Structure 1
Amino acid sequence: MTPRPPRRRTPPPSLGRWTSAPLFPGRSAPAQRPSRRWALSTLAAAQAVAAAVVACRLARGRRRLPPLLPVPTADVTISVVIPARDEAARIGPCLRSVLAAPAVTEVIVVDDGSRDGTAEVAASLGAKVVTAEPLPGGWVGKQWALRHGVAAAVGEMVVTLDADARPAPGLFGALAGALGRYDLVSAGPRFVCDGALEQALHASMLATLVYRFGPIGQESPPPPHRVVANGQCTAFLRDRMLAADGFALVRDRMTDDVALARTLAGRGWRVGFLDAGDLLEVDMHDSVGELWREWGRSLPLRDVTGPGRQAADLAVIWLTGALPVLRLAAGRPTGLDVALLAMRLLLAGALRGSYREPGTGLLLSPLLDPASALRLTQATLRPVRTWRGRTYPAAGRGAPNPSRPAPDVGGAPDVGGGPSDLSSASDLSSASDVSGALDVSGGARTARPGRSGAR
């Protein structure tokens, strides 16, 4: 008898095949060169690692603190500080909401050189208006305005707000309660978007923050270099902030909210970022174009993030957000691409509570993930440090000498604290990873709190 040839054993499918082979290959592809096969395998492995990282970050959402609930009164006196620059058309609704809150002791608007009558509008509505002194070298306008506002405040607790914020009366009592657990609290708002396209782009950009940092309200605090905050609404005890002179420590940072949170966390402060969607709404931008320009430029957190972490952030966003959509559009998604798209759609559903009127824009937002990745890359490689007619030098250039006292604004201590304090406190010069994502005192004229705060 002729012996039968041995049967070939079919090897089991590997992760590499699942992550790199298209689900819908169509015509058989020509044989690939070894170098191309190696490149595709490397890309597939990198995408799998990035997907695992994002999945771990999203899983933190299972252990989140409950959203803030309205508390009509507070046991402490509260000063609300709003930095404003050219906010005459937007500050009215914010001031009316704050002035109607029974827990608020005083409302301060710090006018940072406005040219549109912001100070007059604020004064006519009953706010105390503070005019900031001329901006010194090495300072960004918002931090300068906030420092003036905190110094002028009389309340035991200070809440900073952007001019485009719309707080509910129970917000301030809720923040006062949160300060029993934290030393610095920032509140995540509910966003107002005009139209499906603006909502789609906003939700896509917001997803880049969630993919990098996880959801807000995490039960376990992240390390200082991973802390994020939302400068649209923050709260702290006045005396403690004056003692730290926190705004002087981050005087030259465009991403001032995250810089402040990380610096103070590095100094032992307990920093919390809590969900206040039922108590705070924000209408950040007037158009899709403004959203693309203004929010897009701050998303990379470039001046609080080292080059290595920036590269890692971009890789995660491109591999897990943009690449699956691009492959789907080309008709060649892999199994991992499909899984990532499903995860992204689940995130879109989870973000419904972040919008006053969630609509089709949320469902369409994953399709704009390549555009958001492109904007993130552009803002990382070509940062913009211009705001409302002011151009600021790169962080660390032209900043006050740390050994020299910061300019006195009357009430704030003469504490140094330039960029060297910032990087030593929380290693911001070489470390970082928002979500929502994602800035705000009377007699002072404020810098612009709206879109990105007073600058």
Structure 2
Amino acid sequence: MTLLYRFDAAGVRGQDPQRVMANGQCFLCRRSVLAALDGYSGAKGSFCDDVTLARLAATKGYRVGFLDGAKLIRVRMYEGLKETWREWGRSLDLKDASYQGQLWGDLALLALTQGLPIIITPLLLTALIFGYNFLSLQIVLTLNLLLLLIRFALLLAVSPSYYRGEKVNLSSGLFWLSPLADPLAVIRIFISAFTRPQSWRGRLY
């Protein structure tokens, strides 16, 4: 979900090459294009090699599409919370495929629109209940409520792309509670943005 806040949704065409997205779990590239790019050499030092390669191709003038592959492939990324925290943040900050200014802008956007509203809104509501009913508080509260509404609307929009099985169970129900984990997701991306991975799935760097 953090990607939707920073970049366009799947299917958008005509993007700025530096905002192009890709997913290495389902990455299709013409052999002629890959040969013209000298293979993966342009992304060999990147921890987000899929995005780096896609942006390199877009910079060279090739058309790059980021499409919904829910009907084509099903992928389970990680086995549990511990592995998700350790591995998921390896590349999601996209610092290896972004300019420094772009990275800082994305971090600020995530903090303000996804990380803080779920924390700030209850505090603002509490202040309102206790009689702190001034205009600036009302404006900030309205803004954060709007951001939360957008967050849950996005959750509804992307739900068809997530496989939750045919039976309703606890795991499928947790999907709808995922906005509660947004602050942790943003914190993890901040940590990743300021550190360099030392290992990934058994490989040491």
TM more than 0.5? yes
Partner of 2:17: 224
- Structure 1 position 329, deviation (Å): 3.4
Return 5+ residue gaps in structure 1 as ranges. Answer: 1-206, 393-455
Aligned equivalent of 1:214? 8
Secondary structure in 1 matching 2:157: helix
Q: Give deviations 1:296-351, integer Å, cap 9, x for gaps.
A: 22110011112211111111111111211111232357111111111111011111
Match of 1:316 among 96, 99, 109: 109
Q: Does 1:259 align with 2:47?
A: no
The 3-state SS of whatever aligns with 1:281 is: coil
Residue 379 (1) aligns with residue 173 (2): no
Report the residue type matching 2:142 in the other structure: G
Residues 374-413 of structure 1, C-alpha deviation per residue, up to 9 Å, x if partnerless? 1111111123142244433xxxxxxxxxxxxxxxxxxxxx
What one-letter code is carried by the residue in structure 2 that aligns with 1:376?
I
Taking the aligned partners of 1:319 and 1:239, their CA distance within structure 2 comes to: 42
Given candidates 157, 175, 179, the residue that maps to 1:362 is 175
Q: Equivalents in 2 of 1:390, 1:349: separation in Å?
A: 37
Residue 184 of structure 2 aligns to which amino acid in structure 1?
A: A
What CA RMSD, in Å, does the superposition of the two structures yield over aligned residues?
1.7
1:300–1:366 CA distance, 2 compared to 1 (3 A): same
In structure 2, give the amino acid aligned to 1:273. Answer: F
Q: How far apart in 2 are the matches of 1:346 and 1:318?
A: 19
1:345 aligned onto 2:152? yes
**Cα separation, 2, equivalents of 1:390 and 1:357:** 30
Matching of residue 335 in structure 1 with residue 129 in structure 2 = no
- One of 272, 278, 285 as aligned partner of 2:78: 285
State the SS of the aligned residue for 2:24: coil
Q: 1:236 & 1:370 partners in 2: Cα distance?
A: 35
Give the TM-score taking structure 1 as reference length: 0.39
User: For the residues of structure 1 that align with 2:63 and 2:200, how far apart are their CA atoms?
Assistant: 31
1:307 aligns with: 100
Q: 1:208-235 CA distances to partner (integer Å, 9 max, x unpaired)?
A: 11000021111x3211111110111122
Indicate yes or no: 2:43 matched with 1:250.
yes
Amino acid across the alignment from 1:382? T
Q: Secondary structure at the match of 1:363?
A: helix
Q: What displacement does 1:273 show? A: 1.2
Contact kept in structure 1, 2:87 and 2:201, CA below 8 Å: no
Name the aligned partner's letter for residue 349 of structure 1: L
5 Å-filtered alignment, 1:28-427, equals: 207-218=1-12, 220-330=13-123, 331-332=126-127, 334-357=141-164, 359-392=172-205
Contact 2:54–2:64 under 8 Å retained in 1:
yes
Hey, which bits of structure 1, 4+ residues long, moved more than 6 A?
none
From the CA coordinates, give the structure whose radius of gyration is larger: 1
Distance 1:344 1:243, change over 3 A: closer
- 2:132 corresponds to which residue? none
* Contact 1:253/1:259 (<8 A) preserved: yes
Q: 1:339 is aligned with what amino acid?
A: L
Q: Distance in 1 between matches of 2:159 and 2:194?
A: 31
- Amino acid in structure 1 at the alignment position of 2:147: L
Contact 2:115–2:186 (CA<8 Å) still a contact in 1?
A: yes
1:255, distance to aligned residue in structure 2 (A): 0.6
SS at match of 1:334: helix
In structure 2, the CA distance between the partners of 1:239 and 1:340, relative to structure 1 (3 Å rule), is closer
More helix by share: 2
Give the match's secondary structure for 1:299: coil
Query: SS in structure 2 opposite 1:229?
Result: coil
Q: Which amino acid aligns with 1:283?
A: R
Tell me the percent identity. Answer: 40
Question: Any gaps of 5 or more consecutive residues in structure 2?
Answer: 128-139, 166-171
Amino acid aligned to 2:149: A
